[in-house]
């Protein structure tokens, strides 16, 4: 499938650590990277670079700057003053309060920071000002280098309408659709009808799935227009929209390009980004299982044609939609470093940030097209602070009370900008990190990803590891049968977590029982002198009852040393483990195979919360006696929630559409909550009269806060 | 003679069981009238016949009778209420097969109102007593049996409790009471009252000698409430336990208030409003399992050091700590933190934890509630906890983030001066190892109170974020620079001078300024050194804490 197979000696080269961090202050970002190009210290670039971004991408850029001996300046909002990127950088300047339009989008403050620090160039990362031509212009006016393409290319490609025209002219395949600014909801409906449903409505200025809605009928078009224009205005300060034909069941495959200021351009192979939810990518891989060398070359060459047509320089990405017949259509060009660039770095061995800096300084590309390999396979999982059980991921916030990246494993790269103790706030993107695994084959990379996800310790915020692990172990994903509709197709009723098979269920129950016994035995180990001697219970055999969900499983356990033999539901499970009860990770050998479980919590009443196969399960272990007596305990009646609307996520109330006394129909919008730049419409679960309203526009609400009561 | 009485009793047992089919005629709070058989058939009728049972058989019979308490019907009724029986509770609380029962054959001695009749006698009476082990460690237990006369307290019942309390005192082991009693046994009159007083006296004598824990698992009303109140910790079971001096009926007749049992003396009331109970649990099973966990923290008596449990945690945990409360569970071992009164006076957090395996008491201001200020309730809550730790050799770790005492008429009229002094008194008189960490604000008198160096703190640390001052910058500037034009500049000057750990550090009032991430490591090594701390207060009959 992959065009280039790899000779073993060449592959060894990839894992060599090519640079050593000049400063060891950085701790949370990956300590090794898979670059095969050797940095040439005689090639002078810049003395000092300002990174106009935050989070993992700022850390990522600083990392390469350190390698190249370049001083770095971080900018940050006041809530980010102790963020990782600030600690890593040589200098840091506060550019305003938490909201992005007052800090990271505040051009005046950033220009001041550049002046004060004397930075010669600016790396914008992705998002924020990375594709803002105004910013690029202001930099040029002050003689500061913008590490990215020039203003012309940003402008040409940043506008979706213009970019399509240019693409057409450059003989790049484009999608049928309407090229023009949409002014009102009714215009939108008319255009949509002309093109034919389904249509996609999106912000002209935006990318990354923000301000993007799919409409299947007139009503949805109106709603989509309203939301998209609002979001576009709040995210990009530009409320222009466009509408085009929505290709059902497509794959999203993009080509990384790299061009210099001397008219040279390369394509660095593709990235498969089809696994998406709400048009935001979740799992990416490079190369794609779907492309054959011919299609790959065709796409690559069209991408390079487009880059050349706009005199592109620096790294950029040309996104294509590919249908089942391998027809591909130009979607848009991102004139910046992409979030998912690490997988391209893994398979090509290039350091894209280093190349961007070189190109910005005016150097020619080091490579020729034939130098660009596909070495092995790389997979990236975007680890988000969000609840995957709510529409595949609604933002969650909180403080990372415990955080451990799986960097003890080989061939794992974690790009993150947070560390233990960091806050995930409502102001910024809820991404925790990008977890990249690499292998000689796709299967190797997938197996490594499974391991890495199991070893990833995140506490304090809800995260999407359950979903990620389910995706990468799903038969359809493994066989490469994916499209952008993967998630809704595979989980039509929403994501429900890992569904346990009989054997897996037994393994989970047995592990919980073993952990319970280990904890019980530890309680009897009282050290030091005691006046009244302790008489520990001499016990090698336990009768337990383990509850999981509805069912209660009787179980017998015998223990000798670290080996627990468990009989449950007529099956036998052998669990071997030396339990460290303080560690979040529980490395166990279950029936001969190594498994990494995580213990989230354990309490005196036998409740054990375990993460097993990515999903979190609540298990209750009781002694046989306690379990028998438990049948006498009264059921506690839970609160009736059908007449109460609670906020599903933390955020800001944007609009409240009803008032007390109104009668709402089922599905009618009650209020709109904005969180992490996404607007979420909350609707009534049934027809009812509104009893009371507990929120008002502009208010900040927490997850689970009472918003509206119905009668 | 013995043979006769056995015949009577075995016969009476049958009748007693029959009587028990009728549920208790009436349960009044504060007292219970035992149901007395009214059948004419048996009135005045006594059988005198030679028993056909041997002594051994009679012993067996009694034992069997003792095990079923008030009989299966009442056991079923108890279960139906969502409550376990006295014996089930004991079995669940203690290690398997570790329970050694005493006084199984004790019966009440009342002879009035037909109580002398055999059917009204139950071997063991309305309480199960004995000793056992929790995770191998000795404990004395009594468990009141609601199925026998509603768990009402007879002279014999009290005598049984007193016996195990006396034993617990002599060997030095904790006493756990599982309370489920309707109150005094009215038929016994003053004997029952005397029984209460006997228990109260022992509660007081044992106070500070062995830990005493009460778990309220049913009604506990009238004079009976004072026994739990005298013990060190009172835990409750939600929805099935009540504590009050007088029940809703009496309340209605005296003050004309309409109030339910739950509102008047339920678990929620006592853990959030009154502060009578220290913790509440969902049901009997959770309560008993949690009690086992809690017991692990406690030393057996004031002669024993705080227990040290095997510890799996690394000593050094680099943690970015900005607020101690969110990270307290990461400073201590295995995230085990048994919070005492989590829902009452939340501006102070107290509870037990372990550092490197060793039990410690943690006291800290909670800045998220009322800015962590000290008020009447939080002072009293803190003081009681500190005194318990001091009495039982448990080192005290104090985290300070306090803006001062809460001002206002409500507090002043309520006697904040008197109550605040309790916390000050408790910290000052404590001779156990005392480690204090000033995390942020330590303003005014509250700084002194919170286990400061001046109150014999053994090790006092400040985080770099600490500010020790008489008050916050704004207030101070208004006083120092009254009338001065440039208040902002003065404020900046004050902040520069006082809003940092230096003023305290240069005077030696804190021993070191430490990085938050090293807190755990420092505390662990300090505790090791302080394990041999010896400090004696001057001889006195007892101190006079401002009660």
Where residue A13 falls among pLDDT bands split at 50, 70, 90? very low
Structure tokens at B434: 């005392």
The mean pLDDT value for A244-269 works out to 90
Cα distance from B270 to chain A (closest Cα, Å)?
A: 20
Q: What pLDDT does A257 receive?
A: 95
The mean pLDDT value for A570-587 works out to 90
Report how far apart, in Å, the C-alpha atoms of A329 and of each of A250, A299, B267 are: 10, 9, 66
Sheet strand arrangement including A121-123: A91-96, A71-77, A48-51, A121-123, A145-146
The mean pLDDT value for A513-534 works out to 87
Catalytic one of A213, A336, A358, A595: A336
Pick the closest to residue B224 from B214, B232, B233, B239 (CA basis): B214
Closest Cβ–Cβ partner in A606, A626, A633 for B82 = A633
pLDDT at A203 over 80: no
Where residue B327 falls among pLDDT bands split at 50, 70, 90? low
pLDDT at A272 over 70: yes
For domain A376-464, the CATH superfamily is ATP-grasp fold, B domain (3.30.470.20)
Of the candidate CATH numbers 2.40.50.100, 3.30.360.10, 3.40.50.2300, 3.50.50.60, the domain formed by A644-710 belongs to: 2.40.50.100
Say whether domain A502-523+536-631 belongs to CATH 3.30.700.30: yes
Q: What pLDDT does A23 receive?
A: 35
pLDDT at A186 over 90: no
The full set of domain ranges for chain A reads: 48-147, 159-175+251-375, 179-245, 376-464, 502-523+536-631, 644-710
The mean pLDDT value for B112-117 works out to 81
Report how far apart, in Å, the C-alpha atoms of B3 and of each of B9, B45, B107, B491 are: 10, 17, 17, 92
CB contact under 8 A, B285 and A527: no
pLDDT at B20 over 60: no
Pick the closest to residue A415 from A473, A338, A333 (CA basis): A338
Structure tokens at A124: 């914008």
Of A639 and B348, the structure prediction assigns the larger pLDDT to B348
Residue A614 in contact with residue A680, Cβ under 8 Å?
A: no
Pick the closest to residue A575 from A549, A546, A615, A601 (CA basis): A546
The mean pLDDT value for A327-333 works out to 89
Helix (H, G, I), strand (E, B) or coil at B339: strand
pLDDT digits (tens, 9 = 90+) for B358-387: 999 999 998 888 888 999 999 999 999 999
pLDDT at A246 over 60: yes
Q: What pLDDT does B145 receive?
A: 95
The mean pLDDT value for B55-75 works out to 91
Helix (H, G, I), strand (E, B) or coil at A620: strand
Q: What pLDDT does A527 receive?
A: 83
- In chain A, what residues touch B136 (CB-CB under 8 Å)? 524, 526, 534-537
Q: What pLDDT does B143 receive?
A: 97
Kindly list the catalytic residues of B: 222-223, 445-446
Q: Classify residue A473 by burial, with Cβ atoms within 10 Å: 0-12, 13-18, 19+.
A: middle
CA distance A641 to A632: 27
Q: What pLDDT does A56 receive?
A: 95
Helix (H, G, I), strand (E, B) or coil at B433: coil
Of B125 and A279, the structure prediction assigns the larger pLDDT to B125
pLDDT at A150 over 70: yes
Report how far apart, in Å, the C-alpha atoms of B189 and of each of B119, B151, B154 are: 20, 15, 9
Tell me the β-bridge partners of A383. A433
Task: Tokens 């049958």: give the residue.
Answer: B14
Closest Cβ–Cβ partner in A401, A534, A539 for B137 = A534
Structure tokens at A526: 């009282």
Residue A24 in contact with residue A82, Cβ under 8 Å?
A: no
As a whole-number percent, the residues of chain B with pLDDT over 70 amount to 87
When the pLDDT of each residue in chain A is averaged and rounded to a whole number, the result is: 86
Q: Which helix (H) or strand (E) holds B35?
A: none
CA A85 to chain CA mean position, Å: 18
CA distance B196 to B202: 10
Helix (H, G, I), strand (E, B) or coil at B496: helix
Where residue A690 falls among pLDDT bands split at 50, 70, 90? confident
- In chain B, what residues touch A529 (CB-CB under 8 Å)? 305
Structure tokens at A98: 């938490």
Q: What pLDDT does A211 receive?
A: 62
Task: Name the closest residue on chain B to residue A530, using Cα atoms.
Answer: B304
Task: Tokens 């590891």: give the residue.
Answer: A465
* CA angle, residues B409, B415, B421, in degrees to nearest 5: 130
Cα distance from B169 to chain A (closest Cα, Å)?
A: 13
pLDDT digits (tens, 9 = 90+) for A537-564: 878 899 999 999 877 899 999 999 899 9
Q: What pLDDT does B495 receive?
A: 82
Q: What pLDDT does B322 receive?
A: 54
Where residue A312 falls (left for φ over 0; alpha for ψ -120 to 50; beta otherwise) is beta
CB contact under 8 A, A605 and B285: yes
pLDDT at A6 over 80: no
pLDDT digits (tens, 9 = 90+) for B268-322: 999 999 999 999 999 999 999 999 999 999 999 999 988 898 888 776 665 545 5
pLDDT digits (tens, 9 = 90+) for A385-401: 999 998 888 888 888 88
As a whole-number percent, the residues of chain A with pLDDT over 70 amount to 91
- In chain B, what residues touch A525 (CB-CB under 8 Å)? 309-310
CB contact under 8 A, B310 and A522: yes
pLDDT at B33 over 60: no
pLDDT at B394 over 90: yes
Instruction: Report CA Rg, chain A.
Output: 27
Task: Strands of B250-395 (E only): list them.
Answer: 279-281, 308-309, 337-340, 348-355, 358-365
Where residue A14 falls among pLDDT bands split at 50, 70, 90? very low
Task: Name the closest residue on chain A to residue B283, using Cα atoms.
Answer: A633
Structure tokens at B17: 């069981």
The mean pLDDT value for A353-367 works out to 93
Q: How long is chain B?
A: 547
Q: What pLDDT does B241 receive?
A: 94
pLDDT at A57 over 90: yes
pLDDT at B326 over 50: yes
**Same fold yes or no, A159-175+251-375 and A376-464:** yes
CB contact under 8 A, B301 and A531: yes
CA distance B354 to B360: 6
Task: Name the closest residue on chain A to residue B307, using Cα atoms.
Answer: A526
Q: Which CATH architecture does the domain made up of A179-245 adopt?
A: 2-Layer Sandwich (3.30)
Residue B234 in contact with residue B214, Cβ under 8 Å?
A: yes
Q: What pLDDT does A677 receive?
A: 62
CB contact under 8 A, B334 and A606: no
**CATH number of the structural domain A48-147:** 3.40.50.20
Of B48 and A125, the structure prediction assigns the larger pLDDT to A125
| Alpha-helix residue ranges (DSSP H) falling in B120-189 | 155-171
Helix (H, G, I), strand (E, B) or coil at A611: strand
Which of A86, A420, A519 is most worth mutating to test chain B (most B CB atoms within 10 A of its CB)? Answer: A420
Where residue A433 falls among pLDDT bands split at 50, 70, 90? very high
| N-term to C-term CA, chain B | 56
CB contact under 8 A, A421 and B322: yes
Structure tokens at B262: 């739950």
- Tell me, yes or no, if A336 is annotated catalytic: yes
When the pLDDT of each residue in chain B is averaged and rounded to a whole number, the result is: 86
Report how far apart, in Å, the C-alpha atoms of A501 and of each of A116, A506, A508, B154 are: 61, 9, 10, 58
Residue A554 in contact with residue A560, Cβ under 8 Å?
A: no
The mean pLDDT value for B398-418 works out to 93
Max CA separation in chain A (angstroms)? 91
The mean pLDDT value for A669-692 works out to 78
Where residue A606 falls among pLDDT bands split at 50, 70, 90? very high
Residues 6+ apart with CB under 8 A from B261: B242, B244, B247, B248
Count of other CB atoms within 10 angstroms of residue A311: 15
CA distance A335 to A333: 6
Query: Any idea which fold A159-175+251-375 has?
Result: D-amino Acid Aminotransferase; Chain A, domain 1 (3.30.470)
Delineate the domains of chain B, giving CATH numbers in brackets. 55-296 (3.90.226.10), 324-466+510-530 (3.90.226.10)
pLDDT at A337 over 90: yes
Q: What pLDDT does B26 receive?
A: 44
Helix (H, G, I), strand (E, B) or coil at B3: helix
pLDDT digits (tens, 9 = 90+) for B516-529: 888 888 999 999 99
Least confident range from A208-222, A253-267, A286-300, A342-356: namely: A208-222
Pick the closest to residue B450 from B386, B503, B388 (CA basis): B386
């Amino acid at each position: 499938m992959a065009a280039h197979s790899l000779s073993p000696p060449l592959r060894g080269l990839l894992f060599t650590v090519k640079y050593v961090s000049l400063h060891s202050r950085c701790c949370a970002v990956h300590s090794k990277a898979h670059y095969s190009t050797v940095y040439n210290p005689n090639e002078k670039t810049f003395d000092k670079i300002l990174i106009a971004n935050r989070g993992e991408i700022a850390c990522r850029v600083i990392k390469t700057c350190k390698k190249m001996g370049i001083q770095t300046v971080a900018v940050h909002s006041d809530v980010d003053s102790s963020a990782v990127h600030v600690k890593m950088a040589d200098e840091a300047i506060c550019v305003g309060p938490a909201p992005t339009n007052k800090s990271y989008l505040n051009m005046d403050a950033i220009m001041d920071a550049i002046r004060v620090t004397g930075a010669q160039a600016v790396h914008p990362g992705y998002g924020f000002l990375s594709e803002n031509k105004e910013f690029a212009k202001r930099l040029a006016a002050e003689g500061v280098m913008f590490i990215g393409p020039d203003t012309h290319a940003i402008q040409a490609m940043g506008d979706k309408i213009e970019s399509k025209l240019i693409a057409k002219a450059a003989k790049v395949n484009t999608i049928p659709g309407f090229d023009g600014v949409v002014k009102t909801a009714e215009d939108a409906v008319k255009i949509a009808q002309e093109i034919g449903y389904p249509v996609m409505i999106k912000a002209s200025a935006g990318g990354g799935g923000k301000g993007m809605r799919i409409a299947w009928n007139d009503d949805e078009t109106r709603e989509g227009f309203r939301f998209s224009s609002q979001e576009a205005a709040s995210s990009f300060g530009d409320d222009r929209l466009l509408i085009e034909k929505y290709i059902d069941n497509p794959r999203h495959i993009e080509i990384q390009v790299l061009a210099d200021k001397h008219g040279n351009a390369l394509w660095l192979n593709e990235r498969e980004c089809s696994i998406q939810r709400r048009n935001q990518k979740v799992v990416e891989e490079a190369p794609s299982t779907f492309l054959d060398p011919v299609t790959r070359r065709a796409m690559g060459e069209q991408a390079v044609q487009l880059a050349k047509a706009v005199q592109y320089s620096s790294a950029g990405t040309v996104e294509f939609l590919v249908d089942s017949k391998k027809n591909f259509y130009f979607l848009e060009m991102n004139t910046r470093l992409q979030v998912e660039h690490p997988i391209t770095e893994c398979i090509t061995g290039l350091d894209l940030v280093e190349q961007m800096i070189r190109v910005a300084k005016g150097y020619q590309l080091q490579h020729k097209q034939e130098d660009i390999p596909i070495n092995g396979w790389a997979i990236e999982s975007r680890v988000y602070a969000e609840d995957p059980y709510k529409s595949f991921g609604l933002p969650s916030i909180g403080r990372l009370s415990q955080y451990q990246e799986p960097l003890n494993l080989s061939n794992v790269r974690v790009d993150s900008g947070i560390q233990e103790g960091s806050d995930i706030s409502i102001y910024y993107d809820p991404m925790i990190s990008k977890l990249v695994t690499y292998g000689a084959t796709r299967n190797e990379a997938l197996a490594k990803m499974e391991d890495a996800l199991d070893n990833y310790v995140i506490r304090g915020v809800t995260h999407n590891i359950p979903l990620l692990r389910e995706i990468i172990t799903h038969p359809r994903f493994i066989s490469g049968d994916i499209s952008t509709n993967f998630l809704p197709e595979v989980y039509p009723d929403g994501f429900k977590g890992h569904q346990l098979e009989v054997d897996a269920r037994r393994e989970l129950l047995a592990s919980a029982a073993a952990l319970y016994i280990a904890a019980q035995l530890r309680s009897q180990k009282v050290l030091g002198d005691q006046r009244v001697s302790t008489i520990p219970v001499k016990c090698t055999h336990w009768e337990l009852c383990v509850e999981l969900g509805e069912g209660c499983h009787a179980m017998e356990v015998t223990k000798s040393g670290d080996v627990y033999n468990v009989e449950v539901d007529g099956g036998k499970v052998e669990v071997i483990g030396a339990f460290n009860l303080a560690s979040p990770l529980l490395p166990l050998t279950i029936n001969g195979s190594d498994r990494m479980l995580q213990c989230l919590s354990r309490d005196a009443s036998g409740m054990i919360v375990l993460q097993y196969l990515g999903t979190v399960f609540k298990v209750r272990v009781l002694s046989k006696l306690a379990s028998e007596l438990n049948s006498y305990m009264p059921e506690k009646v839970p609160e009736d929630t059908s007449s109460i609307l609670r906020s599903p996520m933390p955020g800001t109330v944007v609009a409240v559409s009803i008032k007390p006394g109104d009668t709402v129909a089922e599905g009618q919008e009650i209020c709109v909550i904005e969180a992490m730049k996404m607007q979420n419409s909350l609707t009534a679960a049934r027809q009812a009269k509104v009893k009371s309203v507990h929120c008002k526009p502009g208010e900040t609400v927490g997850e689970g806060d009472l918003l509206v009561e119905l009668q | 003679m013995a043979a006769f009485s056995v015949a009577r009793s075995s016969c009476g047992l049958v009748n007693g069981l029959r009587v028990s089919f009728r549920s208790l005629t009436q349960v009044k709070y504060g007292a219970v009238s035992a149901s007395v058989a009214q059948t004419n058939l048996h009135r005045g009728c006594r059988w005198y016949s030679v028993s056909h049972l041997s002594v051994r058989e009679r012993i067996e019979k009694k034992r069997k009778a003792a095990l079923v308490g008030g009989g299966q019907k009442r056991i079923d009724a108890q279960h139906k209420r969502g409550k376990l029986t006295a014996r089930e509770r004991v079995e669940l609380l203690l290690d398997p097969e570790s329970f050694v029962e005493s006084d199984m054959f004790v019966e009440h001695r009342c002879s009035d109102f037909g109580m002398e009749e055999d059917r009204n006698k139950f071997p063991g009476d309305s309480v199960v007593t004995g000793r056992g082990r929790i995770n191998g460690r000795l404990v004395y237990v009594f468990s009141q049996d609601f199925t026998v006369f509603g768990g009402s307290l007879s002279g014999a019942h009290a005598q049984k409790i007193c016996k195990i309390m006396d034993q617990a005192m002599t060997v030095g082991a904790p006493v756990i009471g599982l309370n489920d009693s309707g109150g005094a046994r009215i038929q016994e009159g003053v004997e029952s009252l005397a029984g209460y007083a006997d228990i109260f006296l022992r509660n007081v004598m044992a106070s500070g000698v062995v830990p005493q824990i009460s778990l309220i698992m049913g009604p506990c009303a009238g004079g009976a409430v004072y026994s739990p109140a005298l013990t060190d910790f009172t835990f409750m079971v939600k929805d099935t336990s009540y504590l009050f001096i007088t029940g809703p009926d009496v309340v209605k007749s005296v003050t004309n208030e309409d109030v339910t049992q739950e509102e008047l003396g339920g678990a929620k009331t006592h853990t959030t409003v009154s502060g009578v109970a220290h913790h509440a649990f969902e049901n009997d099973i959770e309560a008993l399992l949690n009690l086992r966990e809690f017991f692990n923290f406690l030393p057996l008596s004031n002669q024993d050091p705080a227990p040290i449990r095997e510890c799996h945690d690394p000593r050094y945990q680099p943690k970015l700590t900005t607020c101690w409360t969110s990270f307290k569970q990461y400073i201590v071992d295995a995230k085990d933190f048994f919070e005492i009164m989590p829902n009452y006076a939340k501006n102070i957090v107290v509870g037990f934890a372990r550092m490197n395996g060793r039990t410690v008491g943690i006291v800290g201001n909670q800045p998220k509630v009322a800015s962590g200020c000290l008020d009447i309730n939080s002072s009293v809550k803190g003081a009681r906890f500190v005194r318990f730790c001091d009495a039982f050799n448990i080192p005290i770790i104090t985290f300070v983030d306090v803006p001062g005492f809460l001002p206002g008429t409500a507090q002043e009229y309520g006697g904040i001066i008197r109550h605040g002094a309790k916390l000050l008194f408790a910290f000052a008189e404590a001779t156990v190892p005392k480690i204090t960490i000033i995390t942020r604000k330590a303003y005014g008198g509250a700084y002194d109170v919170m286990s400061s160096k001046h109150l014999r703190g053994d090790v006092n640390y400040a985080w770099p974020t600490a500010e020790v001052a008489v008050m916050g910058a704004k207030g101070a500037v208004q006083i120092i620079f009254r009338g001065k034009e440039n208040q902002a500049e003065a404020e900046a000057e004050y902040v520069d001078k006082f809003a940092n750990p230096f003023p305290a550090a240069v005077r030696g009032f804190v021993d070191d300024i430490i990085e938050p991430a090293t807190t755990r490591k420092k505390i662990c090594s300090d505790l090791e050194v302080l394990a041999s701390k010896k400090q004696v207060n001057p001889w006195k009959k007892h101190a006079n804490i401002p009660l």
